[in-house]
């Protein structure tokens, strides 16, 4: 038994499937990772996963036919995160509700994250069968 890395809403799954359908035959899903940058120090990164760049070390999260790979170096920062997709009149994009986020910059482009507390997750009973 392991921890579920993250979850997807139906809206996020729908957007992932639309991206894959429009990207061509080699597209398989998306990869979520964390990179250094922005005012707060870290940013979420979302990239297309194709046949050529599937990484066996990534964790795979599947929901409603959508596939999201999580880069290994991002797992501790994303444990317990809920990925959503929202579209407003002014912007659309993936959003992340992350219990490991300690702050965010004013522009909303970057965040400060701490690694997940595995002992606290285990004590709460959040262990589930790990996908991937």
- pLDDT tens figures, 15-32: 999 999 999 899 999 999
Residues 6+ apart with CB under 8 A from 127: 1, 2, 3, 121
Q: Is a pLDDT exceeding 60 seen at residue 126? A: no
* Residue 87 CA from chain centroid, whole number: 18
Residue 86 sits in a domain of what CATH number?
2.60.300.12
| Burial (0-12, 13-18, 19+ Cβ within 10 Å), 58 | buried
* DSSP label at residue 53: G
Cα 81 from Cα 97, distance rounded (Å)? 6
Quote the pLDDT of residue 73.
Answer: 94
Range of the domain at 124: 2-128
**Number of domains, the chain:** 1
Q: Is a pLDDT exceeding 70 seen at residue 130? A: no
Tell me the pairing of strands 6-8 and 81-87: parallel
Q: What is the mean pLDDT of residues 32-39?
A: 85
* Residue 66 CA from chain centroid, whole number: 12
pLDDT in tens, 73-125: 999 999 999 999 999 998 899 999 988 777 777 666 666 676 777 766 666 65
Quote the pLDDT of residue 38.
Answer: 72
61 versus 39: which is more confidently predicted? 61
Tell me the pairing of strands 27-37 and 66-70: parallel
Q: Which pair of tokens denotes residue 11?
A: 């809206």
Cα 16 from Cα 37, distance rounded (Å)? 24
Cα 44 from Cα 74, distance rounded (Å)? 9
Quote the pLDDT of residue 78.
Answer: 93
DSSP run (H or E) holding 124: helix 118-124
Quote the pLDDT of residue 128.
Answer: 44
């Amino acid at each position: 038994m392991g921890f579920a890395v993250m979850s997807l809403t139906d809206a996020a799954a729908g957007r992932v499937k639309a991206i894959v359908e429009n990207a061509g035959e080699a597209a398989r899903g998306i990869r979520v990772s964390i990179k250094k940058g922005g005012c707060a120090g870290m940013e979420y990164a979302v990239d297309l996963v194709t046949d050529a760049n599937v990484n066996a070390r990534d964790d795979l999260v599947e929901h409603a036919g959508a596939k999201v790979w999580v880069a290994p170096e991002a797992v501790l920062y994303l444990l317990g995160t809920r990925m959503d997709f929202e579209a407003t009149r002014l912007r659309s994009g993936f959003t992340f509700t992350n219990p490991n986020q300690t702050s965010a910059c004013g522009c909303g482009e970057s965040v400060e994250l701490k690694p997940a507390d595995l002992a606290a997750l285990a004590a709460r009973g959040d262990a589930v069968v790990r996908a991937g």
